[in-house]
Chains A and B, each alone.
Chain A
Amino acid sequence: MAGMTDLAIRIATTMDATGINKADKSVKGLDKTIKKLGRTLGVTLGASAMAAYGKAAVKAFAEDEAAARRLSSAVDNLGLSFSKVQVATFISGLEQSAAIADDVLRPAFQSLLNITGSLTKSQELLNNAIQISRASGVDLATVTADLGKGYVGITRGLIKYNTGLTRAELQTKSFNEILGIMLAKSAGAAQDYLTTTSYKMDVLRLASENAKESIGEGLVNSFAVLGGGSQASDAAKTIDNIAKGINAITMATAQAVNGLRLLYKGLDFLTSFGGLTGGDGLLARALNRQPTVSSGRSASPAGTAIRTRQQREAEAAAAKRAKEVAALTKKQVASTKALTAEQKKQNSLKKSASIFDLEQVQLVAALKGKLTAEETMRVQAQLAILNGNEAVARQLTDQILKAQDASGNLAKFLTALPNARNPFEYLDAYLSYLAGKAAAIMTSQPVPSAPSAGNTAVPTVPATNVPTFPSDNMITYNTRTGLNYNPNANNVVVELKITGEGDVTNAIAKGLQNQSLSTGDSSYINRRTGGFAG
């Protein structure tokens, strides 16, 4: 009862750790159980993770294998079946050097190969595409597609690479010229990329992907056999089954391995005719012959001749095709230029013709209106000038002049006018005179005579019926200096004389004082002290 209440005095106590030890033991047991559970879960989860990874690896391998098969078929179709090894080596080498997955390289190379038909050209273009891709940031597949289109003359897609070329220039320039510009702008980009962290990450990612593919290949081979087939789908099915039941995998694997072993033994027995044939067969042992081992090589020395011949033929075909494309492009450009020039000419003629017609129409329309005789003559003269009829134009011009001056002197005067003279002509003679004079002084020779002023005779203006303007003396003419303008020539000086000067001065002073006193803001006059304040 005392233990039930808090209101108690506990006199002597002792430590009884029995319960605590028991509890501690229980807790430790629980801890062990939890750890076991954790390990079990970890194993289970690890198995699940492995199964998932295996599935992904099988998928990666299957995709890689499919891409390789596609490329192989493309090479076969181009008649380059003996170059498969070279293609594979090139892709592998490029994958290592550029850190680009073969999954990306294969389709790109395949598209270029289909377009160009040349192995070397495709390799060259793929390398160029990698460089341009590194520089521009555009993915390799897009760059490859654009270059492929550009190779056959469709250069529209190349504008996105900021080559600095206009659309018209892209259309007119050849693909090689454009590619040269693009490569010049992206020079060194591929090499610079190799020093970046991104490249290192790419290398790691690539290694991981390749490891996954290798693991996937191994899994496919092993699980496909275990699954009773030879395809990747069989392997995937097997792995799915593994993921579904971890517990059953051991038994299934064992059974499959056992079955495989039995199957292999059976097949071996059948193919060796009960052990008679084969490397270690009864016959071989009886005849004491060494078993023949296939070297895996073809009868001809690696088929080099066929391969080189195929390559030569393909290169020739590709070169021919390239020439055809180039010629076609050149022809197209020439025709475009000719068409453009013709259009330009036509436009110019059209414009000129329209202007000419317009002026003519205006003049003809003017002639149809009510004009005086003189105006009619002027319009006709202008029309004759426009039409290039010089005789009629001259005749009409004379008639107009005569109409202005009935005496005909004006026409004669204008006809007899000398050519315009050099106003500084006299300076040459004068300077020569000065030089001669100086030389005479120095050499004690007689001083040459001063030069004459030249032909200073001014033709007199004949009397005509042209109204004369009043001479205001503001414009004068000098034979040496030419025309002179004096705006003050006609100024009139007016002299003002004021009589009774004192009164006027006083009146002005008075007026100014009154004005000053009335403006308080501007000046303030203290009337008492007589001082001014501003």
Chain B
Amino acid sequence: MPVELDNAVALSKALKNYAPDLAKETQKEIAGHLRKVVNQARGFVPAQSPLSGWGNQTGIWEYRAFNAGIMKRGIGYSTTPTKPNKRGFRSLATIFNKSAAGAIYETAGRKNPQGMPPAQRVKKYRNGQFIQEWQLDKTVNKSANPNAGRQFIDSLPPLVDSQQSNSAGRRTRKTKGRLMFRAWAQDQGRTTAAVVKAIQNANMTVVKKSDARGQYTFMGRDK
């Protein structure tokens, strides 16, 4: 779960107004902490495709094929606050994995540990009559090999849960992965603490510079 900070937007504005350099320094400090995690995550990307066929850039897999370079470049970080989501929350620091192959490698087997079920023959109504055809939706394995999904997952390293058992919040499958989440699990919250500390330091600096005691207090708290 992310750490929620109060009035971080006000801090950002205050930093720009009273300490523009401090803002840059703070961002750099945060980025330094995030880069460590990112580099570690990139290190988990294998050099070769775990299944030889995944590396073939053909057909619909042309842009999803295993490519270690793309996968490594896809893992990154950002210290720019995001746009508010539908509930009004903005992320001040983010680590992401944005490549297709990297996402596949990261999350394969999270929902279906044994692979997706094979496609079935289903009855569909076409042109005024009922006909039998193969299931074509995204919930089934459309490969001719009914065990393709399971074999693919078996060839990958196991999923690692980044959510610690004693941490707050719900434990969901969405915190499990093989690259970024694995690195985040191994980080064990050190980066989070460093980021929050950097923001608090910036806060204290702004308060000192603005000499406005009590007017700007940016207290980080873990929710």
A residues sitting closer than 8 Å to B (CB atoms) are 1-20
Number of interface residues of B (CB under 8 A): 43
**A1 (CB) vs chain B CBs: closest residue:** B98
Residues from chain B with a CB closer than 8 A to the CB of A6 are: 174
Main DSSP-derived SS at the B contact region: mixed
A7 & B84 in contact (Cβ 8 Å cutoff) = no
Contact B94 A10 (CB under 8 A): yes
Question: 0/1 per residue, B61-83, Cβ < 8 Å to A?
Answer: 00000000000000011100111
Question: Contacts of A2 on B, CB cut-off 8 Å?
Answer: 76-78, 82, 91, 94-96, 98
- What are 19 of the A-B contact pairs (CB < 8 Å)? A2-B77, A2-B98, A3-B82, A5-B98, A7-B107, A7-B180, A8-B91, A8-B95, A9-B96, A10-B2, A10-B91, A11-B191, A12-B3, A12-B196, A15-B90, A16-B89, A16-B90, A19-B88, A20-B87
Contact across chains for A14 and B6 when beta carbons are under 8 A apart = yes
A-B contact count (CB 8 A): 109
Tell me which residues across on chain A come within 8 A of B195, comparing CB atoms: 11-12
**Pairs A-B, 8 closest by C-beta atoms:** A14-B8, A3-B82, A2-B94, A10-B91, A8-B96, A11-B93, A12-B92, A10-B2
User: Do A13 and B3 touch across chains, with their CB atoms under 8 A apart?
Assistant: yes
Q: Which residues of A contact B220 (CB under 8 A)?
A: 12
- Which residues of chain B are within 8 angstroms of A5 by Cβ–Cβ distance? 96-98
Residues on B with C-beta less than 8 A from A16 are: 9, 84, 88-90
Inter-chain contact B96/A12, CB cutoff 8 Å: no
A14 & B107 in contact (Cβ 8 Å cutoff): no
Residues of B that sit less than 8 Å from A by CB: 2-9, 34, 76-78, 81-84, 87-98, 103, 106-107, 162, 174, 177, 180-181, 184, 191-192, 195-196, 199, 220
| B residues near A19, Cβ cutoff 8 Å | 84, 88
Find A12's partner among B77, B84, B93, B174 (CB 8 Å cutoff). Answer: B93
- The distance in angstroms between the C-alpha atoms of A12 and B82, with both chains bound, is 11
Nearest B residue to A6, CB-CB: B174
> Chain B nearest CB: distance from A141 CB in Å?
65
Name which residue of chain B comes closest to A19, CB basis: B84
Please give, as numbers and ranges, the residues of chain A lying within 8 Å of B97 by CB-CB distance: 5, 7-8
A11 to B97, CA, bound (A): 14
**Cα distance A179–B180 when bound, in Å?**
108
A8 cross-chain contacts in B, Cβ below 8 A: 91, 94-97
Partner of B90, one of A4, A7, A14: A14
Pick the contact of A11 from B3, B98, B103 — CB < 8 Å?
B3
Task: Identify the closest chain B residue to A11 (Cβ).
Answer: B93
Give chain B nearest CB distance to A85 CB in angstroms.
81
> Taking A13-B91, A16-B90 as contacts, is the C-beta distance between A7 and B103 under 8 angstroms?
yes
**B184 / chain A contacts, CB cutoff of 8 Å:** 9
Asked whether A11 lies within 8 Å of B95 as measured between CB atoms, the reply is yes
Find B192's partner among A7, A12, A15, A20 (CB 8 Å cutoff): A12
Instruction: Compute how far the CA of A18 lies from the CA of B81 in the bound complex, rounded to whole angstroms.
Output: 14
Q: Kindly list chain A residues whose C-beta atoms are within 8 Å of the C-beta of B92.
A: 11-14
Give the docked Cα–Cα distance between A7 and B177 (Å): 10
Nearest-CB residue, chain A, relative to B95: A9
Most A CB contacts (10 A, CB to CB) among B6, B90, B103, B107 go to B90
Give the chain B neighbours of A12 by CB distance below 8 A: 2-5, 8, 91-93, 192, 195-196, 199, 220
Residues of chain A within 8 A of B34, CB atoms compared: 11
- A9-B94, A13-B89, A16-B9 given as contacts; is B83 within 8 A of A3 (CB)? yes
B4-A14 in contact (CB<8A): yes
A18 to B90 CA separation, bound complex (whole angstroms): 11
Contact in complex: A13, B106 (CB < 8 Å): no
Whether B91 contacts A11 by the Cβ 8 Å rule is: yes
